[in-house]
Amino acid sequence: MRLILVSIVVAAGLVWCGSPTFAREAGPAEHGPPTHKHLLTTVEKVQSGLVFFKPAAGLEHRAVSVHKAERMGLNEAKAGDEVILVIDESNMLIDLHRKGTQPAGHRLIAGKLTYADPFWEVIEITNAEGKQTFAMDDAAGSKLSMLKEGNLVRAELNEDNMVVDIALTH
């Protein structure tokens, strides 16, 4: 089981898929990880269902599926397109959009992690608003291995109410 888990984490590192971020600022009880890095780069090529990005200062080779890029608003990507990649504190790609395009709206939610399914696809967070269930983005799901039910967490949701980032709150 450990070998499979390590393989999944390593494979996730080869093709970084992400979802938009840009959540509004959280309240004092929702302080999360450090600010995400915004890196300007260009599309190197689009091949085999993947969009490849040129390395830039602070950025190694990255790629995202064409499907996911389109879901984030990068439609009909072609070599030479300037894009902004948003990288989280774990060096994971969690957002991308064309240079000059306004990112989509996102939000933060804080509360107690009351359920995380064993396949990292769904979580439940309970707070003053009650129990809420959210789907997990594939890349964000791996962060659940560091969390336990009962932990206080801050989750970042994209416009589809999917968790794209999650971390302990203090």
Backbone angles phi, psi at 48, to 5 degrees: 55, 40
Nearest to 102 by CA among 22, 47, 26, 160: 22
Looking up tokens 């791996």, which residue turns up? Answer: 142
Nearest to 165 by CA among 16, 8, 5, 33: 33
Q: Tens of pLDDT along 31-41? A: 334 567 888 99
Has this prediction a pTM greater than 0.75? no
Percentage of the chain exceeding pLDDT 90: 35
Q: Tens of pLDDT along 121-135? A: 999 999 999 999 999
Cβ–Cβ contacts within 10 Å for residue 77, how many? 20
Give the mean pLDDT of the chain.
Answer: 77
What is the structure's pLDDT at 17?
36
Tokens of 48: 């085999």
Q: Tens of pLDDT along 57-107? A: 877 888 999 988 887 778 899 999 999 888 877 777 777 888 887 766 678
What one-character-per-residue DSSP string does 11-79 give? Answer: HHHHS-------BPPP-GGG--SSPPEEEEEEEEEEETTEEEE--BTTB--EEEEHHHHHHTT-TT--T
Nearest to 5 by CA among 165, 146, 137: 146
